[in-house]
Amino acid sequence: MRQNLTRKLQSVVKVLTVSDAPDYEQPWQTHGPQNSTGSGAVVMTKRGLVIGSVVAPVWGGTGGGSAMDEGEGRKNFLTQVKKGCRIGKKLRELGIRPYGIVRIDSACGPGDWHADTEGNQKRIATTFRQAADIAADHGERLAALGLQADMAHTLLYMMGYNEPSDSIVGKDFQWADEAAFDKAYKTLTDALRPWTIDFHVAQNDATVKGSGDHDKTGRHCLPKDPNGKLDITKRAGSWLRDSYGNVTKRIRHLCWDGCMFPNDVMTKPQTWNDILAAMIAVRDAHGWRE
């Protein structure tokens, strides 16, 4: 037991970074270098696992800011994008991240956005363009300009949770009507698949979880959750195959998002056995060999 604990502790690393964020409105000014730290664990590539997606912590609670804010919010947002891109690049150089994207979102709520849809959309677009320039400088791609499709979040979009008038299934939908679900899911994936550059295998019970930065977010469930609404392997195929049933071969890396599970769940070996089993089933059904 002590030997296993020692190995686990040796895999834990602390990341220290120093950055000097540019002022895009007044580029002749500088705010001086800032220090930041983070922690993580070394991925053992001999196990067949590699790092794919990197999440840039663009939300206000993690040091970022709203992409709609043309002042301090945008500056902080771009600083966090730069940090995420720099870490992603370093992981590539270490040889443990052969591919993948840097994930961002607008770091704002739908209610705030809806207050001025046209103006806010333009402000977000400006922020995203500047973020894309930062990513390009680091040899990275952003998943926001291209879609990161998460099976849990997209299910809530299909249901119209945030905007009932946009529901694809309709207000009278019943879960027992699998034909209606199939039709709605095909509509969803046919529209979004061409834009998808990163994919999260997930389970969802058609409810939401979260507060603050993660408000109104599709609840992630464990693969074998009895309340889960998704046939994971079947529904993943709608993202990984085209409308004719052919494997697209566009997605090289499968992710599982565990951000909503408590630590005691994440430290159980059976949790990871079930997650990896679900992901392997998706790979075996819809994957390919290079």
DSSP strand pairing (203-209 vs 142-143): unpaired
Domain that holds residue 227: 147-290
Q: 289 and 170 share a domain?
A: yes
Tokens of 192: 């979004």
The predicted model scores a pTM of 0.73
Tokens of 13: 């690393």
Q: 136 and 155 share a domain?
A: no
Question: Structurally, how many domains does the chain consist of?
Answer: 2
pLDDT mean values, one per 10 residues, the chain (290 residues): 49 52 54 54 62 87 93 96 94 87 88 91 96 96 84 90 87 92 96 92 84 62 93 97 94 78 86 92 90
Q: 104 and 165 share a domain?
A: no
Q: 141 and 163 share a domain?
A: no
Q: 51 and 83 share a domain?
A: yes
Residue 220: its pLDDT value, please?
84
Q: 136 and 186 share a domain?
A: no
Residue 288: its pLDDT value, please?
85
Q: 112 and 191 share a domain?
A: no
Nearest to 120 by CA among 132, 131, 108, 129: 108
CB-hemisphere CA count at 13 Å for 136? 7
Q: 118 and 163 share a domain?
A: no
Q: 162 and 104 share a domain?
A: no
Q: 288 and 152 share a domain?
A: yes
Q: 24 and 105 share a domain?
A: yes
Q: Which of 103, 125, 145 is the last residue of a domain?
A: 145
